[in-house]
Amino acid sequence: MSVLNRSESRAGVSPAHDSPADGFGGRRDACRTLPRPRLPSWLHFPLPTTAAFGRTRALLDELKLHTVCESARCPNHWECWSKGTATFMIAGDRCTRACGFCAVTTAKPYALEADEPQRVAEATRRMRLRHVVITAVARDDLKDGGAEHFCRTIEHVRALNPGIVIEVLVPDFNDSDASIDAVLKARPHIFNHNLETVRRLTPSVRSRATYDRSLSVLAKARQRGTDLYTKSGLMLGLGEAEDEVLRAMLDLRQVGCDIVTLGQYLQPTLKHFPVVEFVRPEQFEKLGERARELGFLHVASGPMVRSSYHAEEFSPKSLTG
């Protein structure tokens, strides 16, 4: 990210390569293959190895559950699984969209599994989670985009795990009022929908999604939700400028978004959108401070931050007493 403006030098930022992001299509098959850039020192860390990792893996296999940790090749999944946590991905592991940044498989999805909500609830119980994050692939093949499946999953998780904080990370449902309302009627505590990137880069980075549609989804959730917090996230290092990031955060605040996450984009495979820059930790700290000044209730900003990483650090109960 150009920390001053697009014409000034990139002080505080390590360029990943000399080629700009512009011109790489949001569809994966449009991305040219470039050598993967070397990771800077601040992105090197030891992988944890604990017995909890194996137990988490075995439980997910037993209950035949998908996680975004694995399907999206999240770099934090070793840490999270070693702590006995995971982000459940419902509605299958095949997405109807092909975003240039995402490692989830794009293919014709299978039919929804009617007992998946119960299995997610059971995994949550056995893992003794106090805060659960439930996400899903985009299901444009379904009339409601999978919204009722979200609703049933939330209801089963709550029934089997009283007192748990439930966070959902939803697709845009094509901005369908009925689909958004279907999720909200199940009363999640946190409604998360990621803006992902700045307005200028959205057409090339995201498949079928639009910047304004995502803002509309968040605005509707804020207006219609009861005792609800809204949340969104941005990836950095795609070629955005600092003023564009600040504009995106302001746009989020203007639709009432309460929580924001800022993290470094990492290319899942050579066929995906390339990393343009590695943003330094101190720049993430600076942007985090600017986000707090804008009025976000909770901000997570750092190279390894992901939308659901350490999600339990924000608890609605801490604000309501």
Q: In tens digits, what is the pLDDT along the chain, a chain of 321 residues?
A: 554 344 333 334 455 543 333 332 334 444 555 566 788 888 776 666 667 777 888 888 899 998 865 544 555 544 554 554 568 999 998 999 988 768 788 899 999 999 999 999 999 999 888 889 999 999 999 999 999 999 999 999 999 999 999 999 999 999 999 999 999 999 999 999 999 999 999 999 998 899 999 999 999 999 999 899 999 999 999 999 999 999 999 999 999 999 999 999 988 888 888 999 999 999 999 999 999 999 999 999 999 888 776 666 677 765 554
Question: CA quadruple 230, 235, 239, 242: dihedral positive or negative?
Answer: positive
Segments in the chain forming alpha helices (H) = 51-62, 68-71, 77-82, 116-127, 147-160, 177-184, 202-205, 211-224, 242-254, 281-293, 316-320
What pLDDT was estimated at residue 149? Answer: 98
pLDDT at position 49, please?
A: 65
H or E segment at 278?
A: strand 277-279
Instruction: State residue 43's pLDDT score.
Output: 78
* pLDDT at residue number 69: 53
| 129 within 8 A of 161, measured Cβ to Cβ | yes
**What 8-state DSSP symbol labels residue 261?**
E
Number of C-beta neighbours around residue 312 at 10 A: 14
pLDDT in the model for residue 7: 35
Q: What letter does residue 88 receive in the DSSP assignment? A: E
The pLDDT value recorded for residue 318 is 58
* pLDDT for the residue 38: 82
Q: What is the pLDDT of residue 44?
A: 76
- What local confidence, expressed as pLDDT, does residue 56 receive? 81
Are the C-beta atoms of 39 and 275 separated by less than 8 Å? no
Give the Cα separation of 44 and 57 in Å (integer). Answer: 24
- Whole-number pLDDT of residue 238: 95
